Structure 1
Amino acid sequence: MATSAHAYVRGNTLKFYEWLDSAGTTLPEGPSIWICGDCHVGNLGPIANARGKAKIQVRDFDQTVIGNPAHDLVRLALSLSMAARSSDLPGVVTARMVEQIAEGYESAFDPADELQEHTRPDAVQVALKSAQQRTWRHLAEERTQGKTVAIPLGKRFWPVSGKERKAIRELFDDEVVSALVARLKNRDSDAKVQFLDVAYWMKGCSSLGNLRYAVLLDVGGQASTGQDICLIDVKEAIKAAAPRAASAGQPRDNGLRVMDGAQRMSPNLGGRMAAAHVLGRAVVLRELLPQDLKLEFERVDQREAMRAARFLAHVVGRAHARQMNEAERQRWRTELGRGRRSSLDAPAWLWNSTVDLIALHERAYLDHCRRYAMETLAVGDVEALLN
């Protein structure tokens, strides 16, 4: 999180909702639908369906709730704006990006408005092409260093206790879980699912303190013969920080909540998930497919920034629009335009929210870096004294 301001924004969802709760900013109130809840650039990318066909969709639903779609739009605007600032782009580019975000999002509510292939930003084109060319061998090399019979322990994969291993074994005895594994990639529905290995997966700082496992399975004897790999991500479904609508009838079980949100917003991903419990805690399971990638916008030029803003906002808009009827879509489009100025096409509420959040996160990022530097210095001082 100390590597850049953009990385800090990606890793600090709570800061966003603290602002939302305390700033008193008036956002338009959209229809109560499933939202991502953490709609930053890294949470969009190519997602494969059960047959391996990839589309750009939302790819993370830890924070999903039935809530206000405006929250996703503001979070995306913040993420893209910070990516632009990390790329040393001038402030006028940020202003134009927010315009493109508003236009791209609103266009998603017009069924006749489809983004054409040539409008995709380069990062999206590259990611889609790469996704369609990838095979399970790429996944094995990235996730398990090419080994398909055991997970190599080290920096990313840590050993589990006997109690954890037993609980994971029992999890894959469940018929629902076995059916999820068998139906992907046109596997035989009656294929035998054999447990091979499990490790705690240190995926990032958000994993610590929560359940997160990489599970290696052999489906129909394919992994042991080098023909296929089945790597399952078992992730604890934590309580969402995103506020839900007061009248929302969403599941109380966090695993079911995450799965429901994914099914509504990203059919490719939602169709590949299952909710369960491990050691009394709610988890979500999904098989990792080679085509699943995250988008990278670490360094962008002005042209790429404009195209990315419009395209990704359109993707999020589509995920929202498919949950609304025609009357709701029309009302929401009208509400989105509230507060437009002739000098700036983006609605005032979106622009002002983005500016406030940039200022808040810039300061919080620098405070974070200062603490990080002080802690690093303290460790270095101790080591110097010991030596």
Structure 2
Amino acid sequence: METIIDRIKKFNAPLIPDMVELKYKAMKQNAFRFFRGTCHLFYEDLQQVKNFPPSPLAWICGDLHLENFGSYKGNNRLVYFDLNDFDESMLAPLNWELARVLTSIYVAFDVLQLKKALADEMATLFLNQYIERLKTGKAGSIDPRTAQGTVRDFLNTVKKRTEKELIKKIMGTAHKKLTIEIDNVLHFKIKPKLKDALISHVTDWLKNTKSWPNNYIVRDAAFRVAGTGSIGLKRYMFLLQSIKNKDSFLLVEMKQATRSSLAPYNKIAQPHWDSDGERIITNKYRMQNISPALLSTTVFKQDTYVFQEMQPYADRIRFELLADNKDLTAVLSDMARLTASAQLRSSGIQGSAINDELTDFAKHKGWQKGLLAYANQYAVQVKADYKAYVASIG
């Protein structure tokens, strides 16, 4: 029988070895970070479950947890709060999505040393708010104009942050040299030959694509590390400078698109995709109210990448800083409604349940109790797996 460390190393074997070591180190931080880095374990284990509550098919992001909600700048240049990671997205039973996000509540609350009773309360709240939104049959969205409470404050802070501030932080003391500061934590050097090839590729791509503004030139590139589950993928960031306005800069990223970690365990027939990059950006477009700025794909050295304007890595709700249960209730309610909205927005597309099926499902009772019980139990399994992982990796 394979151990936890065997299963994890087998999954991560195709990734960049040096970066995988950083991923393993990050996953030691706590059980929630471990959970974020082992989406494949979740679905491998789910496949073995008997009597898991059945549900209609929907487009799901696949790796929904509390830190995969956040802010991003839309292609209309407004800031939105929404689901924001679709690397694992597939057509699947919608209860798979709910099981993962509910489990994340239990795991995260345990790491934050919040009472189990509060985790039960918030998981139930999330599910109830999700159901109420699904019953309406109408998707909603959140931006600074419509947000309330903690999310409103969060988005207003993000909105006030200028692109110049982000650029200055990334460029650091090397600002005058028009280079990305290498800190060997989030930004790493790229070998000269590969760096030249990447810059040449992006330069040519910018000149020839209609989906991006072509009035920028590439000034520098670096390897980027962000998140947890995606550490080990090829991920590059580029500093662009406007040709017309020398004081105008743009940060973009090029992230390798790979097979969804759900794929080995998902028996639902999927549409044909020309690439995993196409799958990812198509599902972003379907599920989000507004797509991220400058979203597209490219192929470099036979690998497909998702291209988009770089999103600030710190723009997540920090649950440890929420003042009281009222704040928690507001944030989790928003997240639940956004989850339902993403499924409603993408309903009736290439095999997903139509709106009527989703609203009808929301009105039925009996599946909620089993789903909450599974999330509760699996959170205990995550904690045990985390302990075994830490003991094995040293």
Q: Structure 1 residues 292, 277: closer, same or farther in 2, change over 3 A? A: farther
State the AA in 2 paired with 1:355. N
1:151 to 180, 192, 200: 180
Q: CA deviation at 1:181?
A: 3.5
Quote the Cα distance in structure 2 between the aligned partners of 1:298 and 1:131: 19
2:217 to 160, 184, 194: 194
Please say which of residues 203-212 and 45-54 is displaced more in the overlay.
Answer: 203-212
- Would the aligned equivalents of 1:201 and 1:212 in 2 still touch at CA under 8 Å? yes
Please say which of residues 279-288 and 347-356 is displaced more in the overlay.
Answer: 347-356
Equivalent in the alignment of 1:312: 335
Quote the Cα distance in structure 2 between the aligned partners of 1:291 and 1:367: 29
Equivalent in the alignment of 2:368: 347
Equivalent in the alignment of 2:4: none
Equivalent in the alignment of 1:5: 31
Aligned residue for 2:261, secondary structure, equals: coil
- Would the aligned equivalents of 2:73 and 2:293 in 1 still touch at CA under 8 Å? no
Q: CA deviation at 1:333?
A: 3.4
Matched, 1:160 2:190: yes
Matched, 1:242 2:255: no
Q: Structure 1 residues 167, 319: closer, same or farther in 2, change over 3 A? A: same
Quote the Cα distance in structure 1 between the aligned partners of 2:129 and 2:207: 39
Quote the Cα distance in structure 2 between the aligned partners of 1:299 and 1:88: 13
Matched, 1:174 2:195: no
**TM-score, reference length from structure 2:** 0.80
Q: CA deviation at 1:289?
A: 5.1
State the AA in 2 paired with 1:305. L
- Would the aligned equivalents of 2:77 and 2:293 in 1 still touch at CA under 8 Å? no
Q: CA deviation at 1:133?
A: 0.5
Matched, 1:73 2:98: yes
Q: CA deviation at 1:9?
A: 1.8
Q: CA deviation at 1:118?
A: 9.2
Aligned residue for 1:334, secondary structure, equals: helix
Q: Structure 1 residues 336, 368: closer, same or farther in 2, change over 3 A? A: farther
Quote the Cα distance in structure 1 between the aligned partners of 2:334 and 2:62: 19
Equivalent in the alignment of 1:365: 386
Please say which of residues 106-115 and 1-10 is displaced more in the overlay.
Answer: 106-115
Q: CA deviation at 1:196?
A: 0.9
Deviations for 1:329-354, whole angstroms, at most 9, x for unmatched residues?
332233345553xxxxx812221221
Quote the Cα distance in structure 2 between the aligned partners of 1:194 and 1:75: 41
Aligned length, in residue pairs = 355
- Would the aligned equivalents of 2:201 and 2:300 in 1 still touch at CA under 8 Å? no
Matched, 1:52 2:80: no
Q: CA deviation at 1:286?
A: 0.5
Please say which of residues 327-336 and 50-59 is displaced more in the overlay.
Answer: 327-336
Quote the Cα distance in structure 2 between the aligned partners of 1:119 and 1:48: 15
Quote the Cα distance in structure 2 between the aligned partners of 1:144 and 1:180: 26
Quote the Cα distance in structure 1 between the aligned partners of 2:46 and 2:130: 21
Quote the Cα distance in structure 2 between the aligned partners of 1:106 and 1:253: 33
Equivalent in the alignment of 1:384: none
- Would the aligned equivalents of 1:212 and 1:235 in 2 still touch at CA under 8 Å? yes
Matched, 1:296 2:318: yes
Unaligned runs of 5+ in 1: 183-190, 341-345, 376-387
Deviations for 1:208-250, whole angstroms, at most 9, x for unmatched residues?
542110111112243xx33x22111110011101245623214
State the AA in 1 paired with 2:224. W
Quote the Cα distance in structure 2 between the aligned partners of 1:113 and 1:200: 37
- Would the aligned equivalents of 1:80 and 1:309 in 2 still touch at CA under 8 Å? no
- Would the aligned equivalents of 2:158 and 2:315 in 1 still touch at CA under 8 Å? yes
- Would the aligned equivalents of 2:33 and 2:228 in 1 still touch at CA under 8 Å? no
Matched, 1:269 2:291: yes
Matched, 1:135 2:162: yes
State the Cα RMSD in Å: 2.9
Equivalent in the alignment of 2:42: 16
Q: CA deviation at 1:14?
A: 1.6
Quote the Cα distance in structure 1 between the aligned partners of 2:212 and 2:140: 33
Aligned residue for 1:145, secondary structure, equals: helix
Deviations for 1:165-206, whole angstroms, at most 9, x for unmatched residues?
243222331258754441xxxxxxxx5321211111133554
Quote the Cα distance in structure 2 between the aligned partners of 1:15 and 1:217: 38
2:357 to 331, 343, 359: 331
Quote the Cα distance in structure 2 between the aligned partners of 1:154 and 1:363: 34
Quote the Cα distance in structure 2 between the aligned partners of 1:271 and 1:34: 22
Aligned residue for 2:291, secondary structure, equals: helix
Deviations for 1:106-150, whole angstroms, at most 9, x for unmatched residues?
22231579699898452x233211111111122113333262711
Unaligned runs of 5+ in 2: 1-26
Aligned residue for 1:268, secondary structure, equals: coil
2:309 to 276, 287, 294: 287
- Would the aligned equivalents of 2:299 and 2:305 in 1 still touch at CA under 8 Å? yes
- Would the aligned equivalents of 1:5 and 1:362 in 2 still touch at CA under 8 Å? yes
Q: Structure 1 residues 180, 113: closer, same or farther in 2, change over 3 A? A: closer
